[in-house]
Amino acid sequence: MFNDIEKKAVNAIRCLSISQIEKANSGHPGLPMGASPMAYVLWNKIMNVNPKRSNWHNRDRFVLSAGHGSAMLYSLLHLSGYDLSIEDLKNFRQIGSKTPGHPERKHTDGIEVTTGPLGQGIANAVGFAMAEKHLAAMYNKENYKIVDHYTYAICGDGDLMEGISYEAMSLAGHLNLNKLIVLHDSNDICLDGNLNTSFSENIEQRVKAQNWNYTKVSDGNNLEEIYKAIENAKENTNGPTFIEVKTIIGFGSKNQGTNKVHGAPIGQEDFADVKKAYNWQDEDFQISDDVYDIFKENIIKNGEKAYSDWENLLNEYKEKYPEEYKEYISGFERKLPENWIDQVKKYSPENDSLATRASGGEIIQDLAKVTKNFWGGSADLFSSNKTNIKDSERFSDKNPEGRNVWYGVREFAMSVIANAIVAHGGTFHHVSTFFVFSDYLKAGLRISALSHIPVTYVFTHDSVAVGEDGPTHQPIEQLSMIRSIPNAIMLRPADANEVRLSWKIALESKDSPVVIALTRQNVKNLEGTKDLKDISKGAYIISDSDKETPDGIIIATGSEVELALETKKELKKSNIDVRVVSMPSMELFRMQDDDYKQKILPKEITNRVSIEMATSFGWFEFTGDNGLNISIDRFGISGNFKDVKEELGFSKEEISRKYLQKFN
């Protein structure tokens, strides 16, 4: 089946990859040298993509979980006809190039997700497969399979050592994601040496225990066996498939099969010998027409036909199912109906006090009616987070239309799976857990921000007001942690109306993840928010001083805004009249122009107080050197939440006392 030209194409991938690494004097040659055969078979014989329309909805998705092998992926993209030139390959790992050290979404044509942190790519692949399964169930009709594709990933030994691979693969098997196929570059070498120094699992038994199918290819250079393994995997209807392909890291090098070829260039002398071993006679970065032609005849030609067939099918679908078509397209364009926020409940001060997690839960029910492309999941905390859609079932193999994903206690995998679900396109997806457990998923949230994926994160139980569960469950440093992540928007709403407008920001975000922190305890619906239309500027005056120039400014977030308003009344007893500012988002406020910032926080008013039941880290930016930060720079304590707040100094009396002591 595979001729000499195709074997030459495999070596073209290898040599292009090594050339990039040698020119940059940086990179990981071992994986491309060992894994290029499986990559070639997958890309040029199996995958259904259209390089000229790289964002085609129904393309197969590919994830290089072992992202350090990026040179191989860039070689494949170039040869397959994506917008990546030889000059781009020559600029591998250089500033401003399209070929950074690890693959980056929205930076390089054809890159589906940002990979490099090991294990996350496997979870990404799970997310793509879940998105496909969900969308297919929602939109496909008899004879109109407009959503019908596979997800493929190549992982390494290191990926399988990371805990997230266990989390994600466990869920994938449970959900019977049979259109997910993972190829394992099994070379028994890690960066520091032999794999057996730190890993001795029986991979077959492991994946079968997680309800995966298992296949082994004993010779990673055998193109026919690799092809058969993938084709057979595509026929599986029960469970995802894991294909262990035994390879030799750095194949052809004098140091093949050792860690010496893992993470450093092999050097020009060894490269010259490698070329002889590959029977490669062309110069660096030189590819003959016969190699380009084999890619044109396969991935390019087949991809163009597949796209054309799908486009015709979609046009027929549009005619026959216009409403479904409109909804389907809107999902991929992240469009919502005009004035959609008007369909979401508003709250008045006359309404009963309500925890913002509870009002958030009510709001989610309205959002679910705005678009059926809205769905989400929780890390075994739906009953606490209140983020489930009540009139929908659980997402499962039997009910893939279900809009509630039971992620289980898998916070890290949940966040990374969500990244892929949103990156796949077609839906709005949110995930939730307790705020303190955001520590478990921070690495996934970081990639959300880095790769411009607008996942919505809902974190409840947002302060020491969690109470009796004590310091292990009381977030202290998490607010500042998330605020420190570039391109992440942290929102801590004061009441139900701010929650409502937080969701507006989240669903209208195109390039940034949005984090919404919500209370466990009840809070009042504030007078100052009943006519509030927007919080996108990050801060606003919720209650102003009667004086032309306020005596001071109190800035607060979340449930502490109510406390700030009570403190304002308390200070009036001492003839002190302050302005109260609600600041649901530091990040959004920073984005505003100087005029708006001056309007809210005039520079001449230096008597400033911040109130937030978390670390003081970051607050001096807004309160200044002369400011007073009512915060918690220690871990919390267990007890009734009212007693805990009191003990830690969060009362109107104590804050007023400190204000007068500081400024009067």
Sheet containing 608-611, strands listed edge to edge, beginning at the edge strand earlier in sequence: 540-543, 578-582, 552-556, 608-611, 628-630
Task: Name the residue type at position 75.
Answer: S
Residues annotated as part of the active site: 411
Backbone phi and psi for residue 513, each to the nearest 5 degrees, phi listed first: -70, 145
CA distance 112 to 331: 18
How many CB atoms are located within 10 Å of the residue 304 CB? 15
Spatial contact of 264 and 253, defined as CB atoms under 8 Å apart: no
What strand order describes the sheet that includes 489-491? 404-406, 374-378, 428-434, 456-460, 514-517, 489-491
Token pair recorded at residue 612 = 């937030």
The first and second tokens of residue 308, run together, are 């054309």
Beta strands per DSSP E along 206-286: 213-217, 241-246
* Torsion angle, alpha carbons of 278, 282, 284, 287, to 10: -100
Three-state DSSP state, 469: helix
Residue bearing tokens 């942690």: 481
Q: At what angle do helices 652-663 and 560-572 cross, to 10 degrees?
A: 60
The 213-217 sheet, strands edge to edge = 61-64, 151-156, 180-186, 241-246, 213-217
Place of tokens 């969060």: 650
Cβ atoms 483, 618 nearer than 8 A: yes
Distance CA 329, CA 426 (A): 7
Task: Residue 44: name the closest of 243, 291, 217 by CA.
Answer: 291
Residue type, 650: F
Judge contact between 6 and 40, C-beta under 8 A: yes
For the record, the structure tokens of 363 come out as: 């709001």
Nearest CA to 349 out of 521, 529, 493, 518 is that of 529
